[in-house]
Structure 1
Amino acid sequence: MPPRYTPDPYATIEVADPLEGLRVRISLWLLPLGALAALAAWGLSAIAGKLSLPDQYLLLPMAAGFILLEIYLWRNPQGIRRVWQTALFMIAAYEVFSLFYETGYKLHQRDGITPAALWFPMVYLMAFNLLNRRQALRFSLIYLASGLLAGGVGLLMSPSLNVSSINTALQFTLSNIAYLALLYMFAYLRRHYAQMHQMAHTDALTNLTNRRAMQQRLEGELDRARRYNRPFALLLADIDHFKQVNDTYGHSVGDQVLREVSSRLAQHLRESDSLARWGGEEFLILAPETDLHQAHLLAQRLLEAIRENPISGVPVTLSLGVACYRQGDTIAALLSRADEAMYRAKASGRNRVMLEEEMEDIIIPAHPTKPEL
């Protein structure tokens, strides 16, 4: 199981994708829809006798490409980003070529731009959805520059230039710059919001889930337990004599103890478990699908993980209280029983596990070769 402790909680904030499954489902609909749109545009333009050069040579390959991407995605759902990036480049190439053809051969004949050019800004939206903020901006700038370059060359090749053509080209350029600027601002605000959300739900010292975020998870797990009658356990762990650690070794060592304890605890939990810094030197573990016996075994494992090796030369132990969900429980009642069990472990000599009072107390004796703190 990968550890929950990382040096920088924001390092991957732009590449983490909690909507991957949704993207796959949407893509399985959008790709055939894109193929249908390309085929319809090709067929209707051919019937009307207005099939442009880009449409003639690019629409059918695009439709075939979308179908192939659909087949690939069905077989390889994990390749969703590769699928979208391929589709992105296909659409971008079509739009740039269409813009060149429109400005070079058609713009002087009409007021306004071709329907294909109306889709030009969609590539920005795709880029900012698929890539992180800097990559999306870089790609979009290259795409816009390529489009403007192709359009400029097309204008120079145009048989004639009039005020209407120049105005259309100018409005197209300015509107796309505005689209891109607004999208970049939105992406920046979205990233800033994600960072603020991460900071509001993460403990700054240990990078663990904080009390506020854990409270939300507890409420969700309680609702699930009530609805489906499923068990879950809470383990409340407190570092023994932590004040003495700070007083004897200094707060920098105390901080290192907190970080190392959080890391060791995380390494010995299941993927489904949640770990939070609950208070100053207290940690709360939420263990779904766990009865009291299983929670006791988990608490033993965590106890041993902490006391087996000193931290920064300091022997560290825990006192753990364990409580399990009962029908009709509230979060406050469950936490109260775990807290009471933890304080009974403290009162019984520390460096041990205590279960809630419903069952007979189970005491794990202190390690004989390691002094208590």
Structure 2
Amino acid sequence: MPPRRKLDPYATIEVADPLEGMRIRLTLWLLPLGAVAALTAWGLSVVSGKLSLPDQFLLLPMTLVFLLLEAYLLRNPQNIRWVWQIALGTIAVYEIFSLYYEAAYKLYQRDGITPAVLWFPMVYLMAFNLLSRRQALRFSLTYLVLGLMAGTIGLLSSPSLNVSSVNTALQFTLSNIVYLSLLYLFAYLRRHYAQMHQMAHTDALTSLTNRRAMQIKLDNELDRARRYNRPFVVLLADLDHFKRVNDTYGHSVGDQVLREAAGRLQQHLRESDSLARWGGEEFLILAPETDLHQAHHLAQRLLEAIRETPMSGVQVTLSLGVACYRQGDTVAALLSRADEAMYRAKAAGRNQVVLEEQLEDVIIPAHTTMPDMQG
């Protein structure tokens, strides 16, 4: 039997798109702006008496489509990509029709192309910034091919075909190929950067947030607590006797236990809570808008979630320390109290929760020998 190929732990990680919120905000003002631009172009063309065939039939419908998409997006922001597929498709139809009309009826009469056709390559840029990389590439290639076909048909059907017209068409074709190639390269680099960013902030074994990323979240939450005087807690959780698991069952089983523990903890957290692998068999939970009493209930749920059934055939328990933000706290001070509370849970027999307010109640004489705290 051939050996199993080792999988890249990052291969299945979904890369969060940091531009998604910006896309929604951008779209909410771009759509009405596009409607105003289309309506203005139609009105000025009517006033000047130079309303072309594409403008006559497409500008007013484009205005209506953009306004309807704006209204829809306000109610359904989660469908941003679907909205932009329709918007870009509408613009593409207008540009392809304009390209055909320009090549068939106008290009032979003068040098250069009309302003409408100058916007043709801008559609690639919008596609690569507002759609996923694969969607943008498929859309842009289809758009370019259809545009070149329309332009070619228009040239062949024009009353005259001169050198200037051919040169303009050739430069248009080559420049658009270059635009599209460079945008694809940019999109690839952007995706590569997003993956590197994700790898730098994700634990490879459990796919949880790693210590570096959680430190950033802690700093941000501390700033918010100081500014608005809002409570939050941190829970430091450590799997009990985990070294014995590795020594008895092997590191592969130990790794699987860590993955299962991470999954169980994540299932019992709120959407606003954050879970990170803090190091080794330690996990850190950040719970905003939570006081010590609420955190105690949360910790009990997590404790029960780990010990309720064995993981990979191994019965595992958890020790948790809980600390709540105090006015004037630093991240280091907060984590120190959570760590001390977790240490006391270990000292008291493991498989339990200790709150920071209990630390003063637990007095261990200096001459007393502490139990083994490893795991």
The residue aligned with 1:132 is 132
Q: What are the superposed Cα offsets for residues 250-284 of structure 1, whole Å, 9 maximum, x if unpaired?
A: 00000011001111111111111111000111011
Alignment pair present for 1:253 and 2:253 = yes
SS of the residue aligned with 1:278?
A: strand
The residue aligned with 1:295 is 295
Alpha carbons 2:236, 2:342 under 8 Å: kept:
yes
Deviation at 1:289, TM superposition (A): 1.4
Deviation at 1:65, TM superposition (A): 2.0
Alpha carbons 2:208, 2:275 under 8 Å: kept:
yes
The residue aligned with 1:68 is 68
Deviation at 1:99, TM superposition (A): 0.5
Alpha carbons 2:84, 2:131 under 8 Å: kept:
no
**Identical aligned residues as a percent:** 80
The residue aligned with 1:99 is 99
The residue aligned with 2:328 is 328
- Structure 1 residues 74 and 292, CA gap change in structure 2 (3 angstroms): closer
Aligned pairs for 1:324-363 (under 5 A) are: 324-357=324-357
Q: Which amino acid aligns with 1:223?
A: D
In 2, Cα distance between the equivalents of 1:222 and 1:357?
20
Aligned pairs for 1:68-217 (under 5 A) are: 68-217=68-217
Q: What are the superposed Cα offsets for residues 296-330 of structure 1, whole Å, 9 maximum, x if unpaired?
A: 11111111110111111111011111111111111
The residue aligned with 1:36 is 36
Deviation at 1:19, TM superposition (A): 4.5
Q: Which has the higher contact order (CA 8 A, sep 6+)?
A: 1
In 1, Cα distance between the equivalents of 2:55 and 2:311?
68
In 2, Cα distance between the equivalents of 1:291 and 1:98?
62
- Structure 1 residues 361 and 179, CA gap change in structure 2 (3 angstroms): farther
Q: What are the superposed Cα offsets for residues 1-49 of structure 1, whole Å, 9 maximum, x if unpaired?
A: xxxxxx8675543xx5554454344333222221221122122222222
RMSD: 1.9
**TM-score, with structure 1 as normaliser:** 0.90
Aligned pairs for 1:206-245 (under 5 A) are: 206-245=206-245
- Structure 1 residues 330 and 215, CA gap change in structure 2 (3 angstroms): same
Q: Which amino acid aligns with 2:344?
A: R
Q: What are the superposed Cα offsets for residues 181-236 of structure 1, whole Å, 9 maximum, x if unpaired?
A: 11101110111000000000000000000000000000011111111111111111
In 2, Cα distance between the equivalents of 1:89 and 1:361?
68
In 1, Cα distance between the equivalents of 2:330 and 2:77?
40
Q: Which amino acid aligns with 1:154?
A: G
Alpha carbons 2:232, 2:287 under 8 Å: kept:
yes
- Structure 1 residues 77 and 234, CA gap change in structure 2 (3 angstroms): closer
Q: Which amino acid aligns with 1:28?
A: L
Deviation at 1:156, TM superposition (A): 1.0
Alpha carbons 2:10, 2:204 under 8 Å: kept:
no
Q: Out of 21-30 and 156-165, give the one that drifted further.
A: 21-30
Equivalenced residues, count: 355
In 1, Cα distance between the equivalents of 2:74 and 2:281?
48
- Structure 1 residues 232 and 72, CA gap change in structure 2 (3 angstroms): closer
In 2, Cα distance between the equivalents of 1:74 and 1:296?
39
Alpha carbons 1:10, 1:195 under 8 Å: kept:
no
**TM-score, with structure 2 as normaliser:** 0.90
Q: Which amino acid aligns with 2:320?
A: L
